[in-house]
Structures are given as structure tokens and as C-alpha cells.
Amino acid sequence: MTKHEFRFASDPVDARSYGTEELRRRFLISTLFEAGNISFVYSMYDRFIVGGAMPQNEEIKLETLPYLKSENFLDRREMGVINVGDPGVVKVDGEEYLLEKKEALYIGSGHKDVRFVNNGSGQPYFYINSAPAHHAYPVKKIGKNEAEVIELGDEKYANKRILNKLIVNSLVETCQLQMGLTEILPGNVWNTMPAHTHHRRMEAYFYFDIEDGQTLCHFMGEPDNTRHLFLENRQAVLSPEWSIHSGAGTTNYSFIWGMAGENLDYGDMDVRQPNELR
């Protein structure tokens, strides 16, 4: 079964007046994974789609959405898939790709039959990002040993972390989609600090490996007018181009960042130092 919802973009000035419930309604994606289903949120931020597939005994076929006005989901789109659960299989036009936890698959536009499969090794959780595409690039799997790995942060500032670039232009040809996975090391809590914005693209953050009973506070908003959202395990946040995106947890955790926009330059950021935030 395919579930979906549509969300309009928000003006930053309007967002200053949002209370907790309105902020959560517009930016938080609280339920991505339901047994046997695939769920999507279609956002008007660069027409970015965030989704999750949780196959059980039967394969889940990727179906088109009414907002796409196309016969197939990927007729004019590209897609990135990262497994955050037990091993599972993604089938693309009959070709099978086994994804271990924290491995990625890029699927270019034009593919017609995509299926998410539980191969009996446990419960896979396939996290999905999709963006419009103007060109068809080949399917490519990116294992953890193939990622570009960068160590960031300092234990003094509680932000020591490992960044794994997975679907990035130095590894995979894409139109605009970029995805990676960051692991916060034990004893550390902060991600993306110093915070930044990038007006040339939007972003979505998906948090996982958060212990039961623990939480994470995601900071968003204009750098001089910030807001926050409390999240639980396997929840996501839409991050507009005008918003910072940073977080601190009551335990260490991992998160996936996905981006779309008019450039592929990972370092294209407008950084704001911690003491500049309001």
C-alpha cells in the first residue's frame, strides 16, 4: 500500500509565528515506516520527496503519485535509497541489489519497475529521497566501504562525528540529488555545529539509531530567529533553504542528510558560528 501527503513551502517571515503544533505539522515527518507499506511526503521545497518502505512478506512495488502526473514514479525523477535496518533487497527492472545497513542505492530516471523486498534476514527499513531529474543516469550501489569518509568535530565541543558521503557527485552521477550519512560517536551529541544555511538548495534530515526513551532536538529557522522540534527514532525534518539544520540528542545517534537544488557543491554553505545564533 502507498501512502502519501503533499506539503506547501513556508515563507520564513510567516514561520516566525508558528507555534509548536503548526511547526511540527509543516516540517516534521513523524511516520515514515509502517509494516507492509511505503509512505511519501511530497514537498514544494525543490519538489523534494521523502519516503520510507517497510516490506514484510510481500514485495512493495513503487507506484506513481497523483502529484507527479506521470505513468511511473521515475519517469522524470531520480531516487536515492539507504537501508537503515536489517539486510534487504531493492529490485530495479528485475535486477536485484542487496543493501546492508547504511548502504545506498542510486536509481536514475526512466526505470519503470522498482520493488522493495524483505529477504527474510530481519526487518529492512528503506529510507528514500527523490528529486526531479533532467537526465537518466545509471543505477549504482554504494557500500559503506565505498563511501567518502570524513571525521569531523571535537569531543571538547561534544560534536565528534563520522560523515559518510554516499550519493554525492564525486562518487555517483546524479542530476541534483545528494545523500549521505553521519554517525555521532558515543559521548557526543551535536550535529552540524557550527550551523549553516544554503540558499541554493534545500535539505531533509532523517534521524535513526536513537535509543528507546531518548529524544533529539532539531534546531531550525532563520539564524537570528531559531525554532526547535523534538524527534524520536526514525523521524525526519524538512529543512528549507532559509533554515539552519542542526541537532543535539540525549544520546548519540545517526542521521541521513539529503539535498536537492541548483548545485552539487557540498561545501556551498553560509556558516553561522554558535555565538551568532539567536
CATH number at residue 165: 2.60.120.10
| Structural domain span for residue 94 | 2-276
Residue 9 CA to residue 271 CA, distance in Å, equals 23
Count of alpha carbons within 13 angstroms of residue 11, beta-carbon side: 3
Cell for 92? 530495479
**In terms of pTM, does the model score above 0.75?**
yes
Cell for 251? 544520546
Residue 6 CA to residue 156 CA, distance in Å, equals 42
Cell for 15? 514561520
Cell for 68? 507527479
Beta-ladder partners of 182: 163, 255
Q: What is the largest CA-CA distance in the chain?
A: 53
Residue 156 CA to residue 164 CA, distance in Å, equals 22
Q: How many domains does the chain have?
A: 1
Find out whether 32 and 234 touch, Cβ atoms under 8 Å. Answer: yes
Cell for 151? 571525521
- 100-147: per-residue pLDDT in tens? 999 999 999 999 999 999 999 999 999 999 999 999 999 999 998 999
- What confidence score (pLDDT) does residue 181 get? 98
Q: Give pLDDT < 70 ranges for the chain.
A: none
